[in-house]
Every structure is written in C-alpha cells, then in structure tokens.
C-alpha cells in the first residue's frame, strides 16, 4: 500500500497544489450590497460584539483602521464578509483613499468574487451606488470604542 | 482511482488537523478566537495571486499582502501588525515580497463569523536574518507625515482622518448629529 501511495501521490499532489500557487484563480461576477467595515474589529471582538463594531457607532474607528491599512470588508445583508482588494482603478486596499472615504457607508458593488481557503475576496469594478451611512446604531451602542470621541470636558 | 482516493484520505486528515502552535512565542491579546501560530510562508500580493495583476513590488505596502503557508499552501490573510494602534500588516510584510519567511502571531479562528485563516502578525524572520517585531507601521507613518505634529497617537493627528471627521463628524452623520450626541452623552 505504501509503495502504491507513494507512486500515486507523486503524480497527484503536484496536480492538486500547482494550480493554486502558480496561477490566478477563477473569479465570478457578482453584485452585492453591504456596509464597508473594519474587518479586524468585526472578527476579533476586541471592541465588542459584531453588531457594535459597524455603522455610525463605529465610524471613527473604521476610519482609523482603514487609514491604518487593516483589510476593509464589505458586510453583505446576509452576513457574508467580502475582503475588498480593489475599487475601480484603486488597488490601494491597505490604507488607500477610496476605501477610507467609504468607511461605514453602505454601497452597492459590482465586481469579481474570488474564494480561497475560507475567505471571499472582492475586486470591485464599480460602486454602483453609495448610500452613505445607513446603519445609525450609535443610539443603541454609543460610540465604539468610547474614546473614539474625545471627551470635551477633559 | 480507488488507490488514489485512499492515499489522499491518509494524508488529508493530518493536513486538516495541522497544529501551528508548536514553538510559537506569540503574546496573547486575550481574544476570544485567538490561536498561537508560527509557520513558514511566502509573502504574496493577494490581488496578484488571485487575479494575475502583479506589480513588481507587491504594491509597496499599499496592497493587502498574504502569506502562502509552506506546509499546506493555504493563503493566510494577515490583518494586524503587533501594535495596538489600529494598524495593519502590509507595511510590515512589504520588504519581504516574494520571500519565504517564518512568522509568529495569532490566528483567529471563528467559523461562525467567517474568520478563517486571518492572522495577527507579531514577528517576522527571513532566512539568515534576525527575527524582527512587526511594529514598524507607526514609524513609517511618522516619517511620511512630518507635519502631523501635536499631541496624541497617530490616529488623532492623521490629516486624512481629521479631514473626514471635520466634515462628516465622529459618527459620520454630520456635525449637527455629533453636537447633539456629545451634549447628551458627555
């Protein structure tokens, strides 16, 4: 069995792994609507629950994380997170202006979806519409984190 | 074919269950889903890897960079560097574009939220080099923003962030909404 496996795998393994590492993946065109979010706070829970680290409550922190080069995501209405790699001609997904200006906005995006190793990546060809901040959740959660608005009394 | 499937089944379970925490010296951030992880990986431009759009320098820290793990060819997305300062990892990894390095840090594993193969990068070690901390982001920012003086951390002084807050407010809903909120809550 061991001999047979070695022979079979020597043929099969390169075929399995080579396309992933050596070639571009196949994309799928999609249209998706969702909020431009700070993925680190969303995934890590470092600032609170997922519902608290989106929308107006988290707008300032989303600006900080986007300017700081943390990956920006599009949180779709069904809860799926798409990691945004490019918007239009702007491939500066680590701290670039386009994504910074969209922080916490809800957008309708048209682009190509790529999936690899459990994550969904989105290359946005066109922001079809920018609906600004639609999730006005600061009355439910306050400003998150609390120091995102400097205390005017200090 | 039957032999091939049996052989793949034999190797699939060890790969799926691979534990990268052995030898890790990563510092805990007390995150719910953190798992220490030290591994060898090639530093890649994620956009290039997925689409074939490949500048020579991986985007010089302005594109998101990934780590293709040597052991299993999994693409890991580093989201954070080691600074608790709202800072990502692309600037830390950019000098190592195309190289294989050893990284240490924390993997986040929360399938319910969709957090798969995302990573907080703490140290990087290139071949024949000393291990370095992934904490250069704020130094690079300071070098690029010599005029952003004043008190407080970088995110209070960043000109782009300040400009958006000055027009849209902290809550992003306009200055009037900010004013009412601040009067009621501070």
Task: From chain B, pick out residues whose CB is under 8 angstroms from the CB of A152.
Answer: 182, 186
Please tell me the predicted confidence (pLDDT) of residue B3: 52
- What pTM, to 2 d.p., does this model score? 0.89
Task: From chain B, pick out residues whose CB is under 8 angstroms from the CB of A83.
Answer: 46, 64, 77
Residue B8 has pLDDT above 60, yes or no: no
Identify the residue with better confidence: A154 or A58.
A58
Please tell me the predicted confidence (pLDDT) of residue A96: 98
At B120-173, the pLDDT tens digits run 999 999 998 999 999 999 999 999 999 999 989 999 999 999 999 999 999 999
At A72-84, the pLDDT tens digits run 999 999 999 999 9
Distance CA B108, CA A48 (A): 15
At B18-41, the pLDDT tens digits run 799 999 999 999 999 999 999 999
Please tell me the predicted confidence (pLDDT) of residue B128: 87
Prediction ipTM score: 0.91
Q: Pick the residue of A43, A59, A134 with the most B CBs within 10 A to test the interface with B by mutation.
A: A43
Place of tokens 């600004």: A132
Task: From chain A, pick out residues whose CB is under 8 angstroms from the CB of B64.
Answer: 71, 83, 85, 93-94
Span A40-59, average pLDDT: 97
Three-state DSSP class for residue A94: coil
Span A13-25, average pLDDT: 47
Give the one of B7, B76, B181 whose C-beta lies nearest to A9's C-beta.
Answer: B7
Structure letter (DSSP) for residue A26 = P
Q: From A62, which residue of chain B is nearest by alpha-carbon distance?
A: B86
Percent of chain A with pLDDT over 90: 82
Please tell me the predicted confidence (pLDDT) of residue A20: 41
Quick check: B136 and B91 in contact, CB under 8 A? yes
Min Cα–Cα distance to chain B from A145, Å: 12
Span B38-46, average pLDDT: 98
Q: Does the distance separating the beta carbons of A17 and B61 come in below 8 Å?
A: no
Task: From chain B, pick out residues whose CB is under 8 angstroms from the CB of A44.
Answer: 29, 31-33, 80, 108, 115, 120
Residue A123 has pLDDT above 80, yes or no: yes
Min Cα–Cα distance to chain A from B128, Å: 25
Q: How confident is the model at residue A154 (pLDDT cuts 50, 70, 90)?
A: confident
Task: From chain A, pick out residues whose CB is under 8 angstroms from the CB of B172.
Answer: 56, 59-60, 103-104, 132-133
At A60-107, the pLDDT tens digits run 999 999 999 999 999 999 999 999 999 999 999 999 999 999 999 999
Percent of chain A with pLDDT over 70: 84
Q: Pick the residue of B41, B51, B108 with the most A CBs within 10 A to test the interface with A by mutation.
A: B51
Residue A10 has pLDDT above 60, yes or no: no
At B57-112, the pLDDT tens digits run 999 999 999 999 999 999 999 999 999 999 999 999 999 999 999 999 999 999 99
> From residue B89, how far is each of A63, A146, B8, B117 by CA, in Å?
16, 25, 35, 14
Percent of chain B with pLDDT over 70: 91
Give the one of A4, A25, A118 whose C-beta lies nearest to B117's C-beta.
Answer: A118
Please tell me the predicted confidence (pLDDT) of residue A12: 45
Please tell me the predicted confidence (pLDDT) of residue A25: 72
Span A135-153, average pLDDT: 96
Please tell me the predicted confidence (pLDDT) of residue A16: 42
DSSP states along chain B: -HHHHHHHHHHHHHHHT----TT--PPP---TTEEEEEEEEEEEEHHHHHH----TTTTTTSS-EEEEETTT--EEEEEE-SSTTT--SHHHHGGGTT-EEEEEEEEEEETTTTEEEEEEEEEEEETTS--EES--HHHHHHHH-TT--SSS-HHHH-HHHHHHHHHH-SSSS-HHHHHHHHHHH-
Residue B50 has pLDDT above 60, yes or no: yes
Count of A–B CB contacts within 8 Å?
203
DSSP states along B127-144: TTS--EES--HHHHHHHH
Please tell me the predicted confidence (pLDDT) of residue A11: 44
Give the one of B113, B137, B182 whose C-beta lies nearest to A152's C-beta.
Answer: B182
Torsional sign, CA A95, A100, A102, A103:
positive
Q: Which sequence spans correspond to the domains of chain A?
A: 24-135
Q: Does the distance separating the beta carbons of B51 and A24 come in below 8 Å?
A: yes
Q: Pick the residue of B15, B34, B135, B172 with the most A CBs within 10 A to test the interface with A by mutation.
A: B172
Q: Pick the residue of B76, B171, B174, B182 with the most A CBs within 10 A to test the interface with A by mutation.
A: B171
Quick check: A58 and A136 in contact, CB under 8 A? no
Q: How confident is the model at residue B10 (pLDDT cuts 50, 70, 90)?
A: very low
Quick check: B159 and B145 in contact, CB under 8 A? yes
Residue B13 has pLDDT above 60, yes or no: no
Q: Does the distance separating the beta carbons of A71 and B64 come in below 8 Å?
A: yes
Element (H, E) at A99: helix A97-101
Distance CA B83, CA B74 (A): 25
Q: From B92, which residue of chain A is nearest by alpha-carbon distance?
A: A69
């Amino acid at each position: 069995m061991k001999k047979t496996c070695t022979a079979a795998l020597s043929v099969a393994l390169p075929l399995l792994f080579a396309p992933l590492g050596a070639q571009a993946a196949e994309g799928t065109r999609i249209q998706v609507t969702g909020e431009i979010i700070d993925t680190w706070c969303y995934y890590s829970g470092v600032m609170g629950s997922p519902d608290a680290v989106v929308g107006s409550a988290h707008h300032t922190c989303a600006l900080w994380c986007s300017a700081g080069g943390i990956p920006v995501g599009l949180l779709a209405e069904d809860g799926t997170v798409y990691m945004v790699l490019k918007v239009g001609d702007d491939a500066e997904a680590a701290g670039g202006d386009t994504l910074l200006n969209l922080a916490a906005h809800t957008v309708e995006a048209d682009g190509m979806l790529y999936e690899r190793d459990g994550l969904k990546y989105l290359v946005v060809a066109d922001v079809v519409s920018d609906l600004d901040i639609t999730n006005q959740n600061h009355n439910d959660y306050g400003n998150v984190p609390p120091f995102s608005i400097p205390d005017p009394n200090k | 074919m039957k032999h091939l499937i049996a052989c793949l089944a034999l190797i699939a379970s060890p790969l799926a269950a691979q534990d990268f925490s052995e030898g890790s010296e990563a510092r805990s951030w007390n995150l719910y889903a953190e798992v220490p992880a030290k591994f060898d990986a090639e530093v890649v431009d994620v956009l290039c890897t997925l689409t074939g759009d490949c500048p020579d320098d991986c985007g010089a820290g302005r594109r998101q960079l990934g780590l293709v793990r040597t052991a299993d060819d999994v693409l890991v997305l580093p989201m954070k560097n080691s600074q608790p300062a709202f800072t990502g990892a692309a600037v830390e990894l950019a000098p190592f574009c195309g190289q294989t390095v050893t990284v240490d840090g924390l993997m986040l594993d929360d399938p319910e939220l969709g957090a798969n193969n995302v990573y907080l990068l703490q140290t990087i070690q290139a071949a024949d080099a000393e291990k370095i901390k992934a904490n250069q982001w704020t130094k690079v920012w300071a070098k690029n923003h010599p005029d952003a003086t004043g008190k407080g951390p970088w995110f209070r002084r960043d000109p782009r962030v300040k400009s958006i807050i000055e027009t849209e407010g902290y809550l992003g809903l306009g200055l009037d909404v900010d004013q009412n909120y601040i009067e009621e809550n501070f």
